[in-house]
């Protein structure tokens, strides 16, 4: 099947990584259902200019009824779903001992329960057809502990666990489930986190062997690779780091900095 016949839904598509993933998949011919809390107008406008059929499916991914409505809307408009990209997420930077139960619950709800609900509901239609690809956007914080992010990191580690479990459960029925684990990406999320004093550009650049942030395009291309069975048809349950070597690098700081300049 060519990409032109395929349908992808992307959550959190209003900005940042989700917008770039939507546009990248559209440029490759996928028809796109774009989700965010409210209709992602700027993304929809960009999608229309690619000429692909698009659908707006606003709603909170952590709300079971909203997720069911998204499935109904997508099936009514397109009659199928081939690719689900669970990208919507929220950040939470606070010391563990100061993390409120409300913050913990909201972070887990959006970053982990939401993807679970989306996988369960869209996964059913994929299982019925015996094919599909799910890509969960986790983080380097889903693979490593990073201070002051107990809820966020637990949610992203949980998403890796969910990815592996669904890969085991559904792979034999034609549905592949993988994750991308971005390093830090220059998006509004990063701007807001830096604005709140969380860290600086230099902190991140100093930690990454390739000495730069990821771009939304870096992440979108990795998502497109995992989405497409022609490129990744036997890749299932994988966590693809797109982090310039952050996760791989156990070097101590002075050694890493010596190597960064080449």
Ligand X SMILES: NC(=O)c1ccc[n+]([C@@H]2O[C@H](COP(=O)([O-])OP(=O)(O)OC[C@H]3O[C@@H](n4cnc5c(N)ncnc54)[C@H](O)[C@@H]3O)[C@@H](O)[C@H]2O)c1
Residues forming the site for ligand X (CB under 6 A): 11-12, 14-18, 35-37, 60-62, 87-90, 110, 114, 137, 139, 182, 184-185, 187-190
Q: Residues with Cβ < 8 Å from 201, sequence gap 6 or more? A: 194, 213
Q: Name which of 110 and 126 has its Cβ closer to ligand X.
A: 110
Q: Name which of 182 and 244 has its Cβ closer to ligand X.
A: 182
The Cα 78–Cα 210 span in angstroms is 41
Closest separation between CB of residue 215 and ligand X, Å?
A: 11
Closest separation between CB of residue 175 and ligand X, Å?
A: 21
Tokens describing residue 123:
């996964």
Q: Name which of 17 and 175 has its Cβ closer to ligand X.
A: 17
As to burial, measured by CB atoms within 10 angstroms (0-12 exposed, 13-18 middle, 19+ buried), residue 76 is: exposed
8 Å CB contact between 183 and 213: yes
Q: For residue 12, how many other CB atoms are within 10 A of its CB?
A: 27
152 in active site = yes
CA-CA-CA-CA torsion sign (260, 225, 26, 37): negative
Indicate which residue of 30, 104, 116, 152 is catalytic. 152
Closest separation between CB of residue 135 and ligand X, Å?
A: 11
Closest separation between CB of residue 18 and ligand X, Å?
A: 5
Tokens describing residue 233:
């048809």
Q: Name which of 33 and 229 has its Cβ closer to ligand X.
A: 33
The Cα 134–Cα 121 span in angstroms is 12
8 Å CB contact between 163 and 178: yes
Q: Name which of 22 and 125 has its Cβ closer to ligand X.
A: 22
Q: Residues with Cβ < 8 Å from 83, sequence gap 6 or more? A: 6, 7, 8, 9, 25, 30, 132, 133, 134, 135, 227
Closest separation between CB of residue 174 and ligand X, Å?
A: 26
Q: Name which of 35 and 178 has its Cβ closer to ligand X.
A: 35
Tokens describing residue 113:
């329960």
Q: Residues with Cβ < 8 Å from 227, sequence gap 6 or more? A: 8, 25, 30, 83, 85, 133, 135
Closest separation between CB of residue 173 and ligand X, Å?
A: 26
CA angle 6, 12, 17 (to 5 degrees): 85
Catalytic center residues = 152
């Amino acid at each position: 099947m060519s990409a032109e016949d395929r349908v992808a839904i992307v959550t959190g598509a209003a900005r940042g990584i989700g917008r770039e993933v939507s546009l990248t998949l559209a440029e490759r011919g996928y028809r796109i259902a774009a989700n965010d809390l409210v209709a992602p107008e700027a993304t929809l406008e960009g999608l229309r200019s690619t000429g692909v059929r698009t659908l707006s499916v606003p709603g909170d991914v952590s709300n079971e009824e909203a997720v069911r409505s998204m499935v109904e809307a997508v099936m009514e408009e397109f009659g199928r779903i081939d690719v689900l990209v669970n990208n919507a997420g929220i950040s939470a930077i606070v010391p563990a001992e100061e993390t409120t139960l409300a913050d913990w619950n909201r972070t887990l709800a959006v970053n982990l329960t939401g993807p679970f609900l989306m996988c369960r509901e869209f996964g059913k239609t994929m299982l019925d057809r015996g094919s599909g690809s799910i890509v969960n956007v986790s983080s380097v914080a889903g693979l490593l502990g990073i201070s002051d992010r107990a809820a966020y990191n637990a949610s992203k580690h949980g998403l890796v666990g969910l990815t592996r479990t669904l890969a085991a459960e559904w792979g034999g029925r034609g549905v592949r489930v993988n994750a991308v684990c971005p390093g830090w990406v220059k998006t509004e999320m990063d701007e807001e986190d830096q604005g709140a004093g969380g860290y600086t550009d230099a902190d991140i650049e100093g930690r990454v062997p390739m000495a730069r942030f990821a771009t939304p395009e870096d992440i979108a291309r990795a998502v497109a690779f995992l989405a497409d069975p022609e490129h990744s048809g036997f890749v299932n349950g994988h966590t693809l780091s797109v982090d310039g070597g952050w996760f791989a690098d156990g070097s101590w700081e002075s050694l890493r900095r010596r190597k960064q300049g080449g």
